[in-house]
Structure 1
Amino acid sequence: MKVTPIRKQYLQLKAQHPDAILFFRLGDFYETFDQDAEIAARELDLVLTSRPVAKGMRVPMAGVPHHAIEGYIARLIEKGYRVAIAEQVGEATGKGLVHREVVRVVTPGTVVEPTLLEAKRPNYLAALVIEGDRAGLAYTDITTGEFAATQLAREEVPRELARLRPRECLVPAPEESPNRNGGGKGAGNKDSIELRPNHQGSISISPDIHLTPLPPYRFEPGAARQALLGHFGVTTLEGFGCEGKPLAIRAAGAILHYLRETQKSSLAQLTTLRTYSTDRFMVLDPATRRNLELTET
């Protein structure tokens, strides 16, 4: 079946981001189509209409005004969805089609718009990898350039995550499961997860943290090390204090891979990696932290 040129363009972009709700810029609106439109209409209280894409064929469509896009993105992110934004990046010549490309993918841990952020809370994106009784944990706030990693005992992970309160945490997906659920939604908010490699049971994680499973190869030691070396333009990680901490390197490298995929930018704001030890912190349980109003009021 021969589809319209704009439908073909949309399908090409959607194929690149099957795990995100694609907002496709059409004039003064961002439109969603197919299953994305049905989800957007349901979650955002939009009117579901349709658009002709071929002779005798129409597909679901739901759109929002371009000037109101941030509010709609915030609502979807809060519900655990990923949002890909396709912009018009060129001018049409004659009857030619305007070129469009995905300029950014927004996830809970990669929000940068001030209107979508909590003023008194860092918007941390974390990554966690576990092997045996040890774990690697890294986190970043791309609005400030903060980037840190640690290697710690497995049993310390829940306490450290409770201290950091990341918005999103990247984890290796089990081999028997897909890397993410369809329809633009990740693993969502769960209170425990079984982590690869070397399954050792579940770890309790706050339901406020959005878990995003990634293919296990994103956490491979070699790829993670090369990602860090390439980003910082160095030949060794000794200057960052993480040599000899392979799990910390794997977590930090996974974050860089993820940011390159979602931000489509150079990540120049990440100028260094701080390696730290959890021994430097006094351990407080979540109830004590709440009572002292250390993280919220």
Structure 2
Amino acid sequence: MNDLTPMRRQYLQFKNEYPDCILLFRLGDFYETFDDDAETVARELDITLTSRPVSKNQRIPMAGVPHHSVETYIARLIEKGFHVAVCDQISEPDGRGLVEREVTRVITPGTIIEPNLLRDEKPNYLMAILPVGNLEAGQWNAAGVAYCDITTGEFAATELSGENTALLVLEELARLTPREVLLPQSWAERGVTFPREMSVTVVPDWKFEFKSAEAALTAHFRVRTLDGYGLNGMTAGIGAAGAILLYVQQTQRGRLAQLSTLRAYSTASFMVLDQFTRRNLELTETLYTRDVKGSLLGVLDRTVTAMGARLLRAWITQPLLDLQRLNARLDAVEALTQNEPLRAEIREALKGVIDLERLTNRLLIGRVSPRDLIALRASLDKVPMLRALLEPLPPLAALLERLDPCDDARNL
């Protein structure tokens, strides 16, 4: 170790902190990877594998990508299920000593916030599952389930129970199609498995424990109790939600202003469909080609905003059972279908509206550009027009009340 170069020692320090990530280490105009990471990156991204001396008698594998195109390569790694830690230079090289570096981002499939790594029409869910039951026998009596999309701030938790708990969990997986699933280490070692396309991350058991989860959640929301969130008695649900929060705090390095609330939900409020029914009904993708085109979603989706596309997908994947809410939704649809000229005007007004859900959440954590702010103002400028267009439609009165023109923000 003593004969290693200072840069090599610095690299190993960061790699020891993020052993489960591919570490992209900034060296001048390139992000380099070393050792096993280099071999993985060269193989998965089809780039050249070279080597670099780190001591008098040792060379190690090395593979790098240009800094200006790193986002493209990160996207490809995330798509393949890898976790990536980005280590940047935080001081200018002066030729007199080691450049200071710091891990500035940790990116996993379920914690992406970069727009170029996301699909506009789909949520990017991170889910945590806490099985409850006989660990040795692998039997589930209940399970805590929580999920969040840090790009929109959605955060929800529930508990499932009964002899068919494992099946109910699979149904939630089929409904939400999370990009990443967190599982306690003890149950992962017991051999709990999920569909191959799911990216599963094993998390230490203590992050799922009730006390640590409750402490993390109450500290984050600055409350004394979680009763106000509808989580009374949901010990496992709180455990799953706390595990998500602790994991996201780790990957986002403390920037969590976008997770401002937690919602308890019940699967009894919507029609539960198993994965085979969903597949055979071709709700969101066709049976054989697994393409949106030709599915029910593909036929119905005429949305012109990313937010509308995600909402329509959610409505299709969780059909309502509440008759009052169903009728209210149908009344709104009827009001719009019976007034084609007005519907066309509303549709035209919505064109060009930026993804406000995701933009406002990036704004909360300080990850926006001047171009984003210009697009935000242009989108908010359309709100008064939309309010005027919706006013003649009584079934949409509730929506009208929630359309805030945000005059203070528009006039900045």
Matched, 1:77 2:85: no
- Return the letter of the residue paired with 1:165: T
| Distance (whole Å) between structure 2 residues aligned to residue 169 and residue 175 of structure 1 | 13
Q: Specify which structure has the bigger relative contact order, considering alpha-carbon pairs within 8 angstroms and separated by 6 or more residues.
A: 1
**Residues 206 and 295 (structure 1), Cα distance of their counterparts in 2 relative to 1, 3 Å cut:** farther
Matched, 1:277 2:266: yes
Q: Which moved more, 1:287-296 or 1:50-59?
A: 287-296
| Distance (whole Å) between structure 2 residues aligned to residue 251 and residue 115 of structure 1 | 29
| Distance (whole Å) between structure 2 residues aligned to residue 131 and residue 160 of structure 1 | 16
| Distance (whole Å) between structure 2 residues aligned to residue 44 and residue 72 of structure 1 | 7
| Distance (whole Å) between structure 2 residues aligned to residue 176 and residue 140 of structure 1 | 21
Q: Is the 8 A contact 1:162 1:206 kept in 2?
A: no
Once the two structures are TM-superposed, the CA of residue 249 in structure 1 deviates from its matched residue by 0.2
Runs of at least 4 residues off by over 4 Å: none
Q: Residue 81 of structure 1: SS of its match in structure 2?
A: coil
| Distance (whole Å) between structure 2 residues aligned to residue 9 and residue 162 of structure 1 | 43
Once the two structures are TM-superposed, the CA of residue 93 in structure 1 deviates from its matched residue by 4.7
| Distance (whole Å) between structure 2 residues aligned to residue 102 and residue 57 of structure 1 | 26
Residue of structure 2 in register with 1:140 after alignment: 148
Q: Which moved more, 1:110-119 or 1:249-258?
A: 110-119
Residue of structure 1 in register with 2:340 after alignment: none
Matched, 1:206 2:195: yes
Residues 100-119 of structure 1 deviation map (CA, whole Å, 9 limit, x = unaligned)? 11112111111122222122
| Distance (whole Å) between structure 2 residues aligned to residue 124 and residue 60 of structure 1 | 35
| Distance (whole Å) between structure 2 residues aligned to residue 207 and residue 94 of structure 1 | 48
Matched, 1:243 2:232: yes
Once the two structures are TM-superposed, the CA of residue 123 in structure 1 deviates from its matched residue by 0.5
Q: Residue 225 of structure 1: SS of its match in structure 2?
A: helix
Q: Is the 8 A contact 1:87 1:103 kept in 2?
A: yes
**Residues 146 and 176 (structure 1), Cα distance of their counterparts in 2 relative to 1, 3 Å cut:** closer
Identity of aligned residues (%): 58
Residue of structure 1 in register with 2:47 after alignment: 46
Q: Residue 60 of structure 1: SS of its match in structure 2?
A: strand
Matched, 1:171 2:183: yes
Q: CA RMSD in A?
A: 1.8
Residue of structure 2 in register with 1:99 after alignment: 100
Once the two structures are TM-superposed, the CA of residue 266 in structure 1 deviates from its matched residue by 2.4
Once the two structures are TM-superposed, the CA of residue 151 in structure 1 deviates from its matched residue by 0.7
Once the two structures are TM-superposed, the CA of residue 91 in structure 1 deviates from its matched residue by 2.7
Residue of structure 1 in register with 2:322 after alignment: none
Q: Residue 130 of structure 2: SS of its match in structure 1?
A: strand
Q: Report the count of equivalent residues.
A: 274
Residue of structure 1 in register with 2:410 after alignment: none
Once the two structures are TM-superposed, the CA of residue 94 in structure 1 deviates from its matched residue by 5.3
Unmatched segments (≥5 aa) in structure 2 = 134-140, 286-291, 293-412
Matched, 1:61 2:97: no
Q: Residue 174 of structure 1: SS of its match in structure 2?
A: helix
| Distance (whole Å) between structure 1 residues aligned to residue 43 and residue 80 of structure 2 | 12
Q: Residue 15 of structure 1: SS of its match in structure 2?
A: helix
**Residues 287 and 250 (structure 1), Cα distance of their counterparts in 2 relative to 1, 3 Å cut:** same
Once the two structures are TM-superposed, the CA of residue 295 in structure 1 deviates from its matched residue by 3.0
Residue of structure 2 in register with 1:158 after alignment: 170
- Return the letter of the residue paired with 1:172: P
Alignment of 1:213-292 (within 5 A): 213-290=202-279, 292=281
Once the two structures are TM-superposed, the CA of residue 285 in structure 1 deviates from its matched residue by 2.8
Residue of structure 2 in register with 1:180 after alignment: none
Question: Which has more helix, going by share of residues?
Answer: 2
Q: Which moved more, 1:219-228 or 1:49-58?
A: 49-58
Residue of structure 2 in register with 1:4 after alignment: 5
Once the two structures are TM-superposed, the CA of residue 3 in structure 1 deviates from its matched residue by 1.5
| Distance (whole Å) between structure 1 residues aligned to residue 182 and residue 214 of structure 2 | 17
| Distance (whole Å) between structure 2 residues aligned to residue 243 and residue 2 of structure 1 | 58
Q: Residue 295 of structure 1: SS of its match in structure 2?
A: coil
Once the two structures are TM-superposed, the CA of residue 76 in structure 1 deviates from its matched residue by 1.5
Residue of structure 2 in register with 1:130 after alignment: 131
- TM normalised by structure 2 equals 0.64
Question: Which has more strand, going by share of residues?
Answer: 1
| Distance (whole Å) between structure 2 residues aligned to residue 229 and residue 26 of structure 1 | 41
Greater C-alpha radius of gyration = 2
Q: Is the 8 A contact 1:85 1:104 kept in 2?
A: yes
Unmatched segments (≥5 aa) in structure 1 = 178-192, 196-201
- TM normalised by structure 1 equals 0.87
Q: Residue 109 of structure 2: SS of its match in structure 1?
A: coil
Q: Residue 75 of structure 1: SS of its match in structure 2?
A: helix
